[in-house]
Amino acid sequence: MNVSYRNLSLCCTVLASLVVVPAYGQGVVTTREGGANASLRSKAGHAPATAKAARPAPAATDAQPHSNVEQIRVTSHGITTSNGVNNLTPGGGLMPTQTAPRSQSGVTRDFIAKQAPTANISSLVAELPGVNYSSQDPFGLTGNNMTMRGMTQAQIGYLFEGAPMADPINYQPYTSMMVDSENLGSVTVSQGSPDMDAPLYNAVGGQISAQEINPSHHQGGFVDLAGGTHSANKEFIRYETGDIGNTGIRGFVSFSHTSYNNWRGPGGLFRYHIDSKFVKEWGDGNSISAIFSYNRQQQTAWRSPSLKQWKQYGDSFNYDGDFTRGDSLFYGLAISNLNSQTIILPSHFTLAKNLKLHVTPYYEHQFGPSNGGENIPTTGGYMGTQQYNSLVGIPKGTGSILTESIDPWNQKSSSLNMSLDWTAGHNKLSVGYWYNYTTHEELSTFNRVFNNGSYSNSPIVVADTGRILTGYDLNFKQQVNTLFIADTLKLLHDRLILSAGFRAAMVSRTGTNNVPGADPYYKAGNYFEPLPQFSASYRITKHDQIYINGTTAFRAPASVEAYSQIFDPNASHAVEQPGSLKPEYSIGEEIGFRHSGFYNVAFSLFNLNMTNHQVTSLNYIPGTNQLISEPINIGGQTSRGAQIEFGLRRWHHISPYLSGQYLHATMDNNFNAGGGNYLPTAGKVAVESPRFTGAIGLNYDDGTFFGNFALRYVDSQYTTFMNDEKIPSYITSDIALGYRMKKLGPAKAPQIQLNIMNIGDNHYLSGGSSFTTNAHPTRTVAGNMYMSNGVAKTSAPVYLVGGAFAAMVSVSAGF
């Protein structure tokens, strides 16, 4: 295990210090509107239900993931918060009550508000069972990766307010673009299957649903100012309109700025973000919400080492801080941008007492560019398969010239998701339709780099043809049509709930590559997948539930690279060929048990079988620093295991949490490496599938002083199909400490909070960036050496470097 005695000692010391704290009595929670709830803990130790939200999340979560009432809360002994903390969720916000007939976990404001204000959705769910979060950034803002049950984040469906937020083609979630953590109300993780009505076509590995907080009924706002190590800072402000006259409309608008210097290597990040949400409510369950977000973000890319490079250089394997002529590794050339504009309009209408309509139109625009340095030939290079003699404005005979390779990807997606619920007695029938239209344009260019490291705004042109020099000129279009029907029957006084449904997903794609010699120039993919689901749950007692389910899901091939070749001026042929166009298909089964109350337990067993499982690997274009997405079809995969979590409701201001998972994920087939070579991979452990993962959480909050501790363990993980290279297991831990006041002048419930990430300063590899067949010489199924041009063929994976120690202090208050 890659953990030092110092790291383990620090973790144990912090854990002990949070346990040994003075105990105070519990109070009575009242909202600012003056209504009082029952005590936090009844004589039987069970918390009461809280106010209903205007629109519940798609699946049942905590009693109050995002309440309509104002975020400021007061208890009888003086607890006041301006950030939404109410201390009602078991496990310190890590175990909201669940009732869905499947494995499901979540986090609420009780946990979210006590994390660093830079945290994103992926980093916030790292303690939940089955989640394997690979950090590169200790602040949790960017450069991260996640798997669940051996499935990558590109195989997990991401929803924000009911709309899919991942890239609709390569499925990367880019969670830092979605929402500021100060505006995030709750996150729900379904480890095995998506909702029947979810607008997703990639969720073979589960679903993550995020909900924004609802606007307050009272005018006011919230300010959060933070600063930390590595020159990190964040400034956030939210203005609440409150109820606008008698219109039934209320809303908020927020703005934030974030920046930091990279914790390893030169460069850094800046981010500007806007969130807004307006709600109109009337009658019995009628509401229309208007949600808008804007994100502008730029970051110096992280450089990924091989295992050999990591052992030799450690954290110092980075881009160069100073520019020298011809240096393609200069950090100023390795820039990535994540920009987006999002509009979501969730609407809910009660057409009749037993008939409800749900309509969610949305639009998202995501665009780059992503850049990297590359030396290209001044003469004799290639555009596609055509060799060029010279480049406009570039002297001949200089051999090569340093350029900035620019990938200005531009993607727009529009959708409409509708469903109709009809209830008759104990039966509810739901039907729905989802339509999506996506366009994607991607024209790479090469711009000349000057002697000071800056680069031209004009792309280089081939003198022979007058065309812009490019490695790919892609135009991609996609249409999705999905229909579903589901029926839910409640029996035995609603204790037995049976649900069955059928979903038909139709995806149509076309792509062209307008580069000379591209073969094929045009390629299309059409997919029709039937997706049945069944579930049953039985409430044994008021606090105990058992469930069983059988689900299916599919994923259309990931990334435009699955349809188009990629070229480079240094190669006479394509440096990447189109991947497999077969869709993934999964069949899963789960059986589980839950107990809710003073102590909360959730346990489940799962089995997942996949065909045409595609491992998405990020690899460098040969001879460059440009990462491209490469889908690899490894055939079948089976994932089996068990997960458990335990959380205690607040007891003497303390709320502990435990989670864990055992996973046995294996490849079902021998891998076809091409050229008649089959590698003996059947029965090998799947990549990125740690056998054991677990987390310990401990929360203390007496209303004035509060603290939060989290420790995560991740077992070793293979990164090659032949299981001949892996990264060691590791432990990381974080801590939060804070102090609140009731009031300070005009400031309502001001507080100061310290977050320390990776308190043991553990230096480790957190996951794989690329995955390969074998890192060392190996033999094929036929017993021959796996060879290429007479040499044993090997390929070393590259890795994500886990974020080291970082700290951040934040000061926040309501107004």
Nearest C-alpha neighbor of 423 from the set 354, 490, 492: 354
- pLDDT for residue 30: 32
Confidence of residue 52 (pLDDT cuts 50, 70, 90): very low
Task: Output 70 or 708, whichever has higher pLDDT.
Answer: 708
For the chain, give the number of residues: 815
**The residue to which tokens 């107990």 are assigned:** 595
pLDDT at 36 over 60: no
Confidence of residue 20 (pLDDT cuts 50, 70, 90): very low
Coil/strand/helix, residue 48: coil
- pLDDT for residue 229: 97
CB 540 within 8 A of CB 522: no
pLDDT at 733 over 60: yes
pLDDT tens profile 127-164? 999 999 998 999 988 867 899 998 888 899 999 999 99
Quote the radius of gyration of the chain (alpha carbons, Å): 27
- pLDDT for residue 74: 43
pLDDT tens profile 445-459? 999 999 999 999 999
Residues 515-530 have a mean pLDDT of 92
Residues 253-275 have a mean pLDDT of 96
Task: Report which residue type is found at 706.
Answer: F
**The residue to which tokens 């003996």 are assigned:** 680
**The tokens of 299 are what?**
């970051």
pLDDT at 430 over 90: yes
Confidence of residue 70 (pLDDT cuts 50, 70, 90): very low
Residues 252-277 have a mean pLDDT of 96
Strand partners, 206: none
Please tell me the distance from the alpha carbon of residue 687 to that of residue 770, in angstroms, as a whole number.
Answer: 10
Q: What angle do CA 151, 2, 141 make, to 5 degrees?
A: 55
Please tell me the distance from the alpha carbon of residue 203 to that of residue 171, in angstroms, as a whole number.
Answer: 10
Confidence of residue 174 (pLDDT cuts 50, 70, 90): confident
Q: What is the largest CA-CA distance in the chain?
A: 87
- pLDDT for residue 624: 62
**The tokens of 318 are what?**
């980075």
- pLDDT for residue 618: 62
Q: Which domains does the chain have, with CATH numbers?
A: 220-232+390-814 (2.40.170.20)
**Strand-pair category, 80-81 with 163-164:** unpaired
- pLDDT for residue 623: 59
- pLDDT for residue 559: 82
**The tokens of 263 are what?**
């914790």
Phi-psi region of 674 (alpha: psi -120 to 50; beta: other; left: phi over 0): left
pLDDT tens profile 664-717? 999 999 998 888 889 999 999 999 999 999 999 999 999 999 999 999 999 999
Query: Which ranges constitute the DSSP H helices of 98-209?
Result: 109-112, 121-124
**The tokens of 236 are what?**
């956030």
Confidence of residue 22 (pLDDT cuts 50, 70, 90): very low
Average pLDDT along the chain: 88
